Structure 1
């Protein structure tokens, strides 16, 4: 019986150590990917600035074409917003906060299932005869130790989706 008590003490100590160690981890995580697309910014801009056009290239819509999307606000640029509800991709909302056509689009994401929020942006930069598209997500993980540990995997979880989305964005831009 004594060994059960020792195992419980060891597990509690491990939890305390993990929780304390979480506060040594970064409070903020940045995921960033880029891709050069052989199209001018003016051809790419509507694909990212108009929420209804995200279905043509979004990596998450490709994972669940049955997701429910509802739109609100402006049709494009600052003020445009939408909500999603998906069995595999969760529930949330995205709002475009700032737009400098055709160079920069800032957004806020709310992940309702996780109770978290993040900000990000798209930048379209001249690159030779085309455009370098940079996609960023900035997550503030706060004081929740679980979210801080989760942050360590954020680049591995979201980065491949950004890469896939940029490839699909390129295909959509070149198909126009």
Structure 2
């Protein structure tokens, strides 16, 4: 009996010692992982803001393909939430508590464990980098481990809290990067058919460029024209466009004009780089590209194929042009850019030799 009492006291002392050790051990944690994604912050944010999007990149799907997810009526914005049940990962729920669109998301997460419920704060940060179009994404979780959680991870689990969360967040951010990159590359081309472009006055500036630098040059020249229009309080009367005056494939160069439609003719001072032009009404083959400008070559190929298949004759003097329906400053995802391509043709009702 004395031995049993002795063993009991030793066990009691051990329990007290363990309780003191884990009771005084700091259980606070703040674990975060970051990744730079080659996409605008708003595009990345749009893939995170709604819990329904998490299925495409969430790392826990790989941990438990049989996880059961239940969405609330509201799944984005403050008050948006969802919950899950999983034999592998346990049960839990998450709710959005604060949102700064395109910049921050704060959430509350709750895990239901055999040791009781555990609550922590989850946070997302979306920051621009020194490189235009890149975003530093940070995904973190902070909170305080309960006494039983400290005992569990200290005595019974072969895994540690921090490495496990870091591995999961790294995996999730890598998948998020892949999803965003894939989305931004999506595009469609539709040949709309023959249409009449009404033309009219426009302000424009002309420059030359290598074919590879057209995008950069286009932004510079279009900015110059827009600056002139705004500084002189001239009313814009349509979407910006570019006219391709000369394309030299042998030398990989192009001469183009960046223009913006206006209501009336504007007399510019001598030597002004921005001048007024007038586009005559013209019959065209219209093709619409939805996607990044990098896909314009595929759009032109499809338009030329349509021309050949339908016996349409390119106009001998009128120049082809592109109309930029969307403003990249307002539409961050290039997959949603809309560009209309107009290829002037000889009207089917008008013989070529009459022009």
Q: Which has the larger radius of gyration?
A: 2
Q: Which moved more, 1:162-171 or 1:57-66?
A: 57-66
Q: Residues 17 and 158 of structure 1: is their aligned pair in 2 closer, same or farther, counting only changes over 3 Å?
A: same
Q: What is the CA deviation profile of residues 98-141 of structure 1, one whole-angstrom value per residue up to 9, with x for unaligned ones? A: 11111100000111234111111100111223111111111223
Q: Residues 106 and 125 of structure 1: is their aligned pair in 2 closer, same or farther, counting only changes over 3 Å?
A: same
RMSD: 1.9
Q: Residues 149 and 30 of structure 1: is their aligned pair in 2 closer, same or farther, counting only changes over 3 Å?
A: farther
1:1-176 aligned at under 5 Å gives the runs: 2-113=2-113, 114-127=116-129, 128-129=131-132, 130-141=134-145, 144-150=146-152, 153-176=160-183
Q: Which has the higher contact order (CA 8 A, sep 6+)?
A: 1
SS at match of 1:112: strand
How far, CA to CA, are the matches of 2:4 and 2:181 in structure 1? 64
**Which structure's residues are more often helix, by fraction?**
1
- Structure 1-normalised TM-score? 0.89
Count of aligned pairs between the two proteins: 174
**Gaps (5+ residues) in structure 2?**
155-159, 184-355
How far, CA to CA, are the matches of 1:164 and 1:101 in structure 2? 24
Q: What is the CA deviation profile of residues 67-113 of structure 1, one whole-angstrom value per residue up to 9, with x for unaligned ones? A: 11111143422221101111212111111111111110000011123
Q: Residues 139 and 151 of structure 1: is their aligned pair in 2 closer, same or farther, counting only changes over 3 Å?
A: farther
The answer (yes or no) to whether the contact 2:91–2:112 under 8 Å persists in 1 is yes
How far, CA to CA, are the matches of 1:16 and 1:157 in structure 2? 29
The answer (yes or no) to whether the contact 1:45–1:102 under 8 Å persists in 2 is yes
- Structure 2-normalised TM-score? 0.46
The answer (yes or no) to whether the contact 1:31–1:154 under 8 Å persists in 2 is no
Question: How many Å apart are 1:10 and its aligned residue?
Answer: 2.2
How far, CA to CA, are the matches of 2:147 and 2:74 in structure 1? 37
**Gaps (5+ residues) in structure 1?**
none
